[in-house]
Chain A
């Protein structure tokens, strides 16, 4: 059976990976190439590269950067940011992207999704939606760049995007972005039940249990997180070990697995006894040769 996916989002601002908080505050992380190399070796299922400074600066995608980033990426690479034409999409695929994420461009011209899908196939097009609670506490489609929204209702907008030929929905909860309080389960579930294409949920992951919740109660096909995976060694393996223990069917075949480890309250692997650590110093784990 198809496994649930755990996806990392690399938010790129002015050429470097950042942690994003509420779409307004940003903390620098480092070079995308290095983040990709580490996430790849930790067994992430997919990487989403989102250049959030391309559209406001009116720049196209940085193709050479994508080419460079893709070199160490042996998992699917989804690229978004600054895409305005089918030509951009084709060029991105040529330069190492496997799928294309479209957000602002679809708000400006929804038919772009249809055109892209007819050339690259609908499996290649990921339609991204930013959703925020509005003044009346209603879910509403949001643009961080002040673009006119053709359809405010996220359910209707998701259905429109799916009918135009999008292969997946990337659902960002703006209010939860960087909050670490967990996914907005109700919103995710609402979109999952409205469309018949896979949904990637994003925004709010702070604990591995949040992935479990959004995959079970939220019924998301894929849980994505950005900030969660940074600044923690083996963050992906750690999260997958937790998911595996909770009975979620995921791909888990990294050499390190931590299945016999305990977790602390924060969801990180608990410290092992000193004797165990001392023994590990003299253990040799040979790298696998393919």
Chain B
């Protein structure tokens, strides 16, 4: 088998849309011993078996980049039609929603019916919500199967996901109860940064890839 074929066998794809902490996610996957590819080419998207959609950035910029690269349709085909698993992280989860009010009103991918709203500020509730907060896992499987249901993760966001309870996988409390993780069939999203949440975060990635059947 040639070198080129070996690259093609990589099953995990970090979607590169010019916005996001790909290096941080890559460090985590390397630490856990996974082979992966960082790419945005349609050919690589078709070949991959599971996707990570990282995200550090602003919502409109993310959607603009995804459209400019022109991978929305091919990705939708693989995820919606062919049911390949995807994990959106932070902004990567938010763009799965129908729309967001970050810097004006913007449409998202609309794969998980929901909206992105500003975290409501309040007494001692400073926005952005930065730091380690406890989550409550509503459905343990598959993402939270390796952590206790009341564990902590690192959050860093000013906007949050709002959707129907049936998609909620975990919640956290910051002034109000908000969504920490979503799950809709093969589509997953986490508001916190598992790649920056030490061992608890590593466990989330391990659980996700085990679910995907990737070793």
Contact = CB atoms under 8 A, between A and B. Distances in A.
Contacts, number: 134
Interface residues of B, number: 49
A4 B203 CA distance: 23
Contact of B23 (A74, A96, A121, A167): A96
B206 A121 contact: no
Contacts of B133: 1-3
Interface in A219-265: 221-222, 251, 253
Contact of A96 (B21, B193, B202): B21
A183 to B, nearest CB: 18
Contacts of B173: 1
B198 A76 contact: no
A99 interface: yes
Interface string A197-214: 110000000000000000
A1 B27 CA distance: 29
Interface in B173-215: 173-174, 193, 195-203, 206
Contacts of A72: 27
Interface in B42-100: 56-58, 61, 91
A196 interface: yes
Given A96-B21, A118-B58, A197-B127, A123 B195 contact: no
B111 to A, nearest CB: 21
A98 B57 contact: no
A119 B57 contact: yes
B22 A74 contact: no
Q: Is the interface of A mostly helix, strand, loop or mixed?
A: loop
A124 interface: yes
B193 to A, nearest CB: 7
Contact of A124 (B57, B121, B174): B57
B24 to A, nearest CB: 6
11 contacts: A71-B27, A74-B195, A74-B201, A74-B202, A75-B154, A98-B193, A119-B58, A121-B56, A123-B156, A196-B121, A198-B131
Top 6 closest pairs, chain A to chain B, by CB: A96-B23, A123-B128, A251-B132, A121-B58, A167-B128, A123-B156
Given A72-B27, A117-B58, A123-B156, 18 more contacts: A67-B23, A70-B23, A70-B27, A71-B27, A73-B24, A74-B197, A93-B21, A98-B56, A98-B196, A119-B61, A121-B57, A123-B128, A167-B158, A253-B152, A253-B200, A290-B202, A290-B203, A290-B206
